[in-house]
Amino acid sequence: MAIAQLTDSEMNAQGVVSLPTRPNGDFASGGESLSATELKERFDRLPRYIAARLNALIAALNADPADGEGAIAGLILTGLFPSGDPGHTLSDFFSDVLNGDLAGYLSVGARSLSEELSRKEETFHPTAFTGDELTPTDLTEYRCGTISSLSLSLPEDPPPAFCCLLVFDTPEGNGSASLDYPEGIRWTGDDIADGEFLLFGERHYTVFLWYDGAWEASVRGVDL
């Protein structure tokens, strides 16, 4: 239920403005010649209406964020447009976080990571990779399986629009997998802390790596 402010027309209908200054006087002096019962009804109407609004607000505050419109989070616009929807709410964001669907929030150049991932089947060449040292080539998707360690090197003199994908899983236990990479990569996305990419156990990672004058990488990580 949307929680809106009381409008002037609602307050008039509830009798706020129309309460007479002299309830038993004539109209010329600001009265309406109300009976005691009519006057009590005027005073009683608005508090009941406000109480109903307050109950709706409390219900929204207590609702599960997954309830969408029924929760207070469903009433707060984020200003984020991962799917081009100006009505995107905090509840929508919570739902995407719980589902591990954050690729639409990560930018890759002028597009989102989700848009780039949707295009990858048309442009990327899937390649199974089982080694522990990798220097990627342009427009290649490296499917590394479950890794224990991987050393990543960057190609020299990459083309201006160089991009590639690394897809891998990590085994159970934090610290059971390691990824070594050169300095200078600007990381964004999941499991990034202080500009560093941290691997956690039992996760499926998709790393989009590209060069636009500097090396950039966006990470999407979801639990297995």
219 CB-near residues (< 8 Å, 6+ apart): 187, 188, 189, 190, 191, 192, 197, 205, 206, 207, 208
3-state DSSP assignment of residue 53: helix
- Kindly report which listed range (24-28, 96-100, 135-139, 204-208) carries the lowest average pLDDT score: 24-28
Indicate whether 16 pLDDT > 50.
no
**67-77 pLDDT tens trace:** 555 566 676 77
Stretch (H or E) spanning 12:
helix 8-13
| Range of the structural domain that residue 125 is part of | 102-223
Which tops the pLDDT comparison, 168 or 56?
Answer: 168
- Residues 56 and 150 grouped into a single domain: no
How do residues 79-110 score in pLDDT, each as one tens digit?
A: 766 666 677 777 777 777 777 666 666 665 55
Q: Is residue 91 part of a domain?
A: no
Please tell me whether residues 113 and 37 are part of one structural domain. no
Mean pLDDT of 106-125: 62
Please report whether residue 96 resides in a domain: no
Query: Which pTM value belongs to this model?
Result: 0.50
Question: Helix (H, G, I), strand (E, B), or coil: what is residue 121?
Answer: helix
The three-class DSSP label of residue 178 is strand
Considering only CA atoms, which of 119, 162, 110, 168 is closest in space to residue 143?
A: 168
What distance in Å separates the CA atoms of residue 78 and residue 90, rounded to the nearest whole number? 6
Report how far residue 138's alpha carbon sits from residue 211's, in angstroms, rounded to the nearest whole number. Answer: 10
**Average pLDDT score over residue span 112-118:** 62
